[in-house]
Amino acid sequence: MIVYVLIPVFNRLEHTKRVVASLRAQSIAAKLRIIVVNDSSTDGTAEYLQSQGDVVEIRGDGNLWWGGAIEEGLKHVLPSCQAEDYILFLNNDTWFGDHYIETLVRTSKENGDAAVGSVIHEEGRDPPLVSIGAKVNINRLAVWDVLSELNETEKRSPNSQYRVDALSGRGTLYPAPLFRKYGGMRPSLLPHYMADYEIAMRFARAGVPLVVSSKAIVYSPPVYGNDASSLSWRKRLFGRRSAHNVFQRLIFYSLVGSPVQRITAPIRMAYFSCSRAFSTWRSLAKRKEGTI
């Protein structure tokens, strides 16, 4: 068994050094192959990677984004993958304990070759658990985290496992044969956000269990991922760095639904967007009236 670890990076060299150190400390480190997809970093990442004998660097042209970087990694490793191997998607702004990947592999085997995701603990937060995994309502075009369904006691002492509707790219293990059977990323359609959810849901439609182990913990800094709060409304709705990009969300829901859901996705998105905007406006108006 080999676990191929795919890590897309763009700058943030200190994060990359930390995640590589965490991988080297793993209890099954001898079974890992580390592949870093460096999408034209300018902060010394290339020089660092070249000096690491146990790390394979794949270079991008600066336009890969997350989905394209993972796809390049898949193209590199799949010809070497055997039936018993795994592929781990990982972000570089994460770190984890020494038995992290061993836990992912064991959980996959215990759940019938499941795809297994990680819980996220945020540095400095109490309780530290900030994400378990996604639940998705395709009809209402809604995504939320399982964490929001838990009471305070369970947030501090979660169950050992949870079933989810989609898995993120921040630490998800897949049996390697899945990519040969059901395909890889779709970077031309989903270059960045929602690409991780789409491939997980594609596997789920084929009968692959999607499981999150609360024992598989990735630690992240206080702000992980791309923070879009400072973006203008135009970049927030249409920018590729924004998780709220309306075109990417429309493509995502068009890909993951049933044939009827795919056809009606644009109409439903327009309806629910207007409905939620109106609800937000009405709530603000009532709040303002209460202060007069």
pLDDT at 80: 97
Quick one: average pLDDT of 141-162? 95
Of the listed ranges 61-70, 117-126, 202-211, 273-282, the least confidently predicted one is 273-282
pLDDT averaged over the chain?
A: 90
User: Is the domain of 160 the same as that of 252?
Assistant: no
Residue after which a domain boundary falls, among 179, 195, 220: 220
Of the listed ranges 20-29, 58-67, 211-220, 233-242, the least confidently predicted one is 233-242
Question: Is the confidence at residue 234, as pLDDT, over 80?
Answer: no
> Which residues make Cβ contacts (< 8 Å) with residue 281, sequence separation at least 6?
none
Radius of gyration from C-alpha coordinates of the chain: 20
Q: What is the DSSP string of 84-118?
A: T-EEEE--SS-B--TTHHHHHHHHHHHTTS-EEEE
Instruction: Quickly count helices (H) and strands (E) in the chain.
Output: 10, 11
Cβ 23 vs Cβ 34: under 8 Å: yes
Supply the CATH number for residue 92's domain.
3.90.550.60
User: Is the domain of 238 the same as that of 260?
Assistant: yes
Q: Cα-flanking dihedrals φ and ψ of residue 216, to 5°?
A: -95, 95
Question: Is the confidence at residue 240, as pLDDT, over 80?
Answer: no
Quick one: average pLDDT of 60-67? 94
pLDDT at 141: 87
User: Is the domain of 237 the same as that of 213?
Assistant: no
* 227 domain-assigned: no
Peptide bond into 209 cis (omega under 30): no
Measured between alpha carbons, how far apart are the two ends of the chain, in Å? Answer: 67
pLDDT at 247: 77
Q: State the pairing for strand pair 32-38/142-145.
A: unpaired
Give, for 172, the enclosing helix (H) or strand (E): strand 172-175
Tokens of 183: 């395909």
pLDDT at 238: 47
Give the angle subtended at the CA of 243 by the CAs of 14 and 17, to the nearest 5°. 10
Q: Cα-flanking dihedrals φ and ψ of residue 209, to 5°?
A: -65, 140
Number of domains composing the chain: 2
Q: Of residues 156 and 244, which shows the higher confidence score? A: 156
Residue after which a domain boundary falls, among 161, 193, 220: 220
Measured CA to CA, the distance from residue 116 to residue 151 in angstroms comes to 23
Q: How confident is the model at residue 222 (pLDDT cuts 50, 70, 90)?
A: confident
Residue after which a domain boundary falls, among 220, 252, 273: 220
User: Is the domain of 239 the same as that of 201?
Assistant: no
pLDDT at 250: 87
pLDDT at 181: 97
Measured CA to CA, the distance from residue 243 to residue 58 in angstroms comes to 26
Give the global pTM: 0.88
- Domain with 24, as residue range(s), is 3-220
